[in-house]
Structure 1
Amino acid sequence: MLTIEKYSFGVGDRFAHQAAAQLRSFTRLAEKGIHVAPVWNKSNREHTFVGSEPQSVYDAAAAAVEKLGFDRPWHVDADHIGLKTVEPFLPCSDFFTLDVADSIGKPADQADIDAFVAKHSELIGTLELEGLSAPLTITEEDVRRVAGQYMLATKEAGEIDRHIASVKGEGNYIAEVSMDETDEPQTPPELLIILAMLADENIRVQTIAPKFTGRFNKGVDYVGDLAQFEREFNDDVAVLAHAVKAYGLPEVLKLSVHSGSDKFSLYPIIRDCLKRTGAGVHLKTAGTTWLEEIIGLAEAGGDGLALAKEIYVYALEHVDELCAPYASVIDIDRSQLPDSAAVEKLDGPAFAELIRHIPSNPNFNANVRQLLHVSFKVAAKAGARYTDLLESNEEIVGQQVTQNIYDRHLLALFIDEDGKAIGTGA
């Protein structure tokens, strides 16, 4: 069975030009004794916006692996797919994120709910699981409610998983189930019930992405109660460990944190939990690399800076159109977006400072960063003009990409305050 490594990290590459720069961050981390598997991810929606095909993600990743002589595991994620969108990903992906958010809350068959409740009497009562902040108290009414809300979604996940297995072969891919793109977070008791339903569907789920409390806006830090997130994350880890033993789910089962890029305030919490429990984690990023491309072009000056400014000005004039698909995961104060005249006066380093996510820098503007995060299809419209500039400024752009993933993400997640790696990740 193909199994996910203990630590894995999803990297998006909108325009398939930064795979080598991304991979360098993982090789640098390996020099410190910790191995994290890179997982290149790109959703069907992103392919549609950019005009690319799933095979391009695999090709770019494979070329980077060969170029750098990378000899550790790596994966390509068919990100947020369903039955209607999975086909083009099947030949070139070995990691499939099953997105069933649209089915959450839709009514399930009452007979199926009754059968589930009858089968899983072990869920009802007070459960004292190792590692929990407090025992879980679950009533029959709770089981019925959660089953009613999530059963159709887990059945859909089963359908997608069985279709993938019919093509790829059982055990030849990694299955992740995504439940994060929904309105309400899943509590630890709810997660346990969901895992029981996934086990009943015989999904060999290796990572699961629940929705946590708080806001996970694109490309900026977490907004919410850190103490509450810490309790949820730690309790979810305990629930997963119990579900592995109780339902025969894969031993490698771990939490996946979606929209995990730049959640700097959460990284110490996640790191401490991994260090204490020995658990694994998958953290997924996406638009971070695209933003680093813009930062690199700005730093390069000349035509690169000119295009970076053009993209921002266009985005400023089309805020509603660009933000609509991402309304639930961005929070932009439009009054804090500089106008085109103000941006035109900025030199390359100053424009880069607006976007580069260093919260201590007084020139950093989270509103500009979020707007540009969702504006990658503006660059796609520029076509060869944009990609040619990426190639002619490959060194400076690549430096931004590597530095961002390595310094601001991987080190924060996997190296503690004393400079010690949290584990080998083997």
Structure 2
Amino acid sequence: MNIEKYSFGVGDRFAHQAAAQLRAFEMIANDGVDVAPVWNKSNREHTFVGSDPQSVFDAAKVAVDKLGWEKPWHVDADHVQLATVEPFLPCSDFFTIDVADWIGKAASENDINDFVDRHSELIGTLELAGLSAPLEISRDDVRRVAQQYLLAVKEASVIYQHIASVKGSDNLIAEVSMDETDSPQTPPELLIILAAMADEKIPVQTIAPKFTGRFNKGVDYVGDLAQFEREFNDDLAVIAHAVKQYGLPEVLKLSVHSGSDKFSLYPIIRESLQRTGAGLHIKTAGTTWLEELIGLAEAGGDGLKLAKEIYLYALDHVDELSAPYASVIDVDASKLPDLATVQGYSGGEFASAIRHIPTNPLFNPSMRQLLHVSFKVAAKAGDRYTDMLVANEEIVGKQVTENIYQRHMRPLFLG
């Protein structure tokens, strides 16, 4: 099983929006760009919501059948480790292997020495096609990177081999995620990591490095755009070289995690893909759940009432709700509207406050980020929340489809 050239991860916290999401893929296909949907939900999110991995497959299959979708689609076991992968095995074909916990823990000295001795081709001045400047890598650099990442790669191999033993190696797509760590991986480091993955016989099809800058969930990129452009393009060059040098899968491509709503990066990514012919996997950060809230607010009445209740509960529990996501959100509590202000919002005003249109003077990124991580509040509401989604299916679905197609897919792939 090979990943398609372009793939796009969609989260669906409450398993009600798969058809609305899939309509966006139909629309971009009608524009001449095939993008494979990848429904993803992590173990952490299942725990918060009280769902199970099979529910993601089931909701996706219903949508695929309903819309008569005949192109490829996948279900992602998102950010799995050996301890959490088991429930995902029967119902997933895409596995995001997360080894962040092993980054920085050193492998044995013998393993490190063997790796350095085995890869003399990495040492020196490497002039790879497409690089902004040659890579300068010393023997000490190779050793340092091996000390930082070799054990993590070995753990990725253990997890991959376990998955493959159950699924069969021809029935799965392997992604390795290294983005949930403190320091970004530079292009030279990425090359050394890919060499290690080849040694460990991981047929990785997408690699998710950590880029420089802030990839906060649900809002735009914060960082140096020129630096990101250099990194992204150099990473593409490194991947193309590693595929040829080490026999990694020809479909290997970059994965951008928390890639939704990174509007300032989309022109850079689009130009790079068009120039190089490279593929891309972009993983969203669950913004479909926010579009549900926007739809309920726009619906008015009980929908707006519930949206306000969820926000006001979140306002009273900012620290508790933010803590699990502290590294990927920046909520300024002083910018959060108070109870009286929110109670006075019309449906349109509430929607405008959290719909990601930065030019709208009502848009409030802190409110949006807080609600982004507050989906467990809706989960506590249980049937009341999901019944409201059903009752307002048309207006909610419209928000979901338009968000993915207009604000994400068109800028990414068409401009």
TM band (smaller chain): over 0.9
**Which amino acid in the other structure matches residue 277 of structure 1?**
T
User: Residues 94-144 of structure 1: CA distance to partner in whole angstroms, max 9, x if unpaired?
Assistant: 000000001000121000000000110000000000000000000000000
User: Residues 176-227 of structure 1: CA distance to partner in whole angstroms, max 9, x if unpaired?
Assistant: 0000000000000000000001111100000000000000001000000000
CA distance in 2 between partners of 1:204 and 1:62 (Å)? 27
Counterpart of 1:293 in structure 2 is 292
Does residue 318 of structure 2 align to residue 319 of structure 1? yes
How far has the Cα of 1:175 moved from its partner?
A: 0.1
SS at match of 1:235: helix
CA distance in 1 between partners of 2:276 and 2:153 (Å)? 28
**Which amino acid in the other structure matches residue 15 of structure 1?**
F
User: Residues 384-416 of structure 1: CA distance to partner in whole angstroms, max 9, x if unpaired?
Assistant: 000000000000000000000000000000003
**Which amino acid in the other structure matches residue 14 of structure 1?**
R
CA distance in 1 between partners of 2:320 and 2:105 (Å)? 29
SS at match of 2:281: strand
Q: Please list, as runs of the form range in 1=range in 2, the aligned pairs for 1:247-286 lying within 5 A after superposition.
A: 247-286=246-285
Counterpart of 1:157 in structure 2 is 156
CA distance in 2 between partners of 1:169 and 1:71 (Å)? 24
User: Residues 259-298 of structure 1: CA distance to partner in whole angstroms, max 9, x if unpaired?
Assistant: 0010000000000000000000000003210000000000
CA distance in 2 between partners of 1:199 and 1:160 (Å)? 15
User: Residues 71-107 of structure 1: CA distance to partner in whole angstroms, max 9, x if unpaired?
Assistant: 1000000000000000000000000000000100012
CA distance in 1 between partners of 2:260 and 2:28 (Å)? 17
Counterpart of 1:21 in structure 2 is 20
**Which amino acid in the other structure matches residue 117 of structure 1?**
V
**Which amino acid in the other structure matches residue 289 of structure 1?**
T
Counterpart of 1:303 in structure 2 is 302
Gaps of 5+ in 2: none
CA distance in 1 between partners of 2:260 and 2:388 (Å)? 25
Q: Please list, as runs of the form range in 1=range in 2, the aligned pairs for 1:19-418 lying within 5 A after superposition.
A: 19-416=18-415
CA distance in 2 between partners of 1:170 and 1:339 (Å)? 53
Q: TM-score, length-normalised on structure 1?
A: 0.97
**Which amino acid in the other structure matches residue 218 of structure 1?**
K
CA distance in 2 between partners of 1:286 and 1:87 (Å)? 23
How far has the Cα of 1:65 moved from its partner?
A: 0.4
CA distance in 2 between partners of 1:200 and 1:185 (Å)? 22
CA distance in 1 between partners of 2:15 and 2:229 (Å)? 35
How far has the Cα of 1:332 moved from its partner?
A: 1.0
SS at match of 2:206: strand
Counterpart of 1:424 in structure 2 is none
CA distance in 1 between partners of 2:323 and 2:214 (Å)? 17
Partners of 1:292 and 1:356 within 8 A in 2: yes
SS at match of 2:45: helix
User: Residues 314-363 of structure 1: CA distance to partner in whole angstroms, max 9, x if unpaired?
Assistant: 00000010000000000111100000111000110110000000011010
SS at match of 1:171: helix
CA distance in 1 between partners of 2:305 and 2:387 (Å)? 14
CA distance in 2 between partners of 1:281 and 1:31 (Å)? 19
Partners of 1:13 and 1:286 within 8 A in 2: no
Gaps of 5+ in 1: 417-426
CA distance in 2 between partners of 1:30 and 1:107 (Å)? 46
How far has the Cα of 1:58 moved from its partner?
A: 0.2
**Which amino acid in the other structure matches residue 135 of structure 2?**
L
Kindly, what percent of the aligned residue pairs are identical?
77
How far has the Cα of 1:370 moved from its partner?
A: 0.2
Counterpart of 1:422 in structure 2 is none
